[in-house]
Amino acid sequence: MEKFASAAELVAKLKPDRPVLASRPHAAGRAARWFLENFPGDVAYAYKANSSVFMIGALYGAGIRHFDVASVPELEDAHTIPGAHLHFMHPVKSRSSIRRAYHEYNIKSFSLDSEDELRKIVEETTGPNGLARDLVLFVRVAVPAINSRIPLERKFGVAGEKAADLLVKVRQVASELGLTFHVGSQTMTPDAYSHALTEVHNLIVRAGVVVDRIDVGGGFPSIYPDGSPAPLSAFIDVIKAGVEELPVRNDVRLMCEPGRALVAEAESVIVRVDARRDNGLYINDGGYGVLFDAAHLNWIYPAQLVSRDLQPGEQLAPFELWGPTCDSIDRMKGPFLLPSMIREGDYLEIGNVGAYGRAISGDFNGYGKYDEAILDDEPIMSMYGGATSGARTAEG
């Protein structure tokens, strides 16, 4: 894998014809170290966010050993990581995937949000010696999405009396009982976690069960040009305070499942402008590629020109981007602030695409093929300090 000092150096040397997925593993390592040092429990990386070898290698090198997986292909991949502890945290699993996870891959840790799922887990983990005695089962609780860019609460999660009944039933079969939730991805303020922990508190009281584990899920923010999330340390403080109040065992084991916060800023895509029409730039990656969220959720990524210096008097101007496919959905409205004299043949670095970008990209219209490179410099924006612009630290 070729290494470059910066996106500008890469473009000057290669003039790449295909878009380039440019990784900064040191940024993923820095994020992982921050979580490992500051979160008072297990840090389980949400494998779905980005499973490239550069990211997994960097996270592993920093000390990440727990992984949240959501499917058999993910666990087949992740179980090859030496010393990995895998948690199958998808609340709806096929019977065959439960069976394979438990019997073939020795996974004990599952989430669920219904009695039907509990029945499936119990039946599929029963072996010749009878019921499994080593299950760690997390009940996924529905919690309100507060200030999150991608709310997840409508699809999964159980609440109220149903949740209390389920907790009692799970307690009867689990060796360890946990509660989990997901406040929604890119949650900007920590009050989402305090509300969620209040829900958890009320449910535990209602069910009257002994609780061994609390998993606060993912949702921790990265940084993008159109918003200013609270510092990550504020999230940790709120979680610690909320957990302190819970009626759980003194030695309750905590876990979190960050995806975005660990990898978003550790990957950029370098694209070429193939045409300019007014303030629309036609580039060689788009909504069917790494920039899915920019097209479908109107996500605004930091972007910069990397192929030339600014012309005298050149100012920043708002642009929209069009992807390379023939589909008019392939439009990234932005606005992306870029130098006003951009023209065909210029290259842009679009930053902070490391979470879900590579993972979602497909090859519609024959696109979706990337060159790969490593960059040694800092991300355009960072939550952890060390950025070329928009730097903030996890402390604020």
Q: Which residues bind ligand PLP (CB under 6 A)?
A: 46, 49, 68, 89, 182, 185, 217-220, 257-261, 355
Helix/strand/coil percentages in the chain, nearest 5: 30, 25, 45
Separation of alpha carbons 144 and 151, rounded Å: 9
Q: What is the DSSP letter of 48?
A: G
Least Å distance, CB 10 to ligand PLP, is 27
Separation of alpha carbons 101 and 116, rounded Å: 18
Least Å distance, CB 39 to ligand PLP, is 12
Q: SS3 of 127, please?
A: strand
DSSP strand pairing (267-277 vs 66-69) = unpaired
Separation of alpha carbons 60 and 243, rounded Å: 27
Which residue number places its CB atom closest to ligand PLP? 218
Closer to ligand PLP at the Cβ: 54 or 181?
181
Least Å distance, CB 112 to ligand PLP, is 12
Element (H, E) at 306: none
Query: What residues does 67 pair with on adjacent strands?
Result: 45, 86
Least Å distance, CB 317 to ligand PLP, is 32
Closer to ligand PLP at the Cβ: 185 or 382?
185
Least Å distance, CB 67 to ligand PLP, is 11
Closer to ligand PLP at the Cβ: 19 or 217?
217
Cβ(370)–Cβ(208) under 8 Å? no
Closer to ligand PLP at the Cβ: 184 or 324?
184
Closer to ligand PLP at the Cβ: 68 or 267?
68
The encoded tokens of residue 339 equal: 């130098």
Closer to ligand PLP at the Cβ: 262 or 348?
262
Exposure string of 276-290, with b = 16+ CB inside 10 Å and e = fewer, is: beeeebbbbbbbbbb
Least Å distance, CB 69 to ligand PLP, is 10
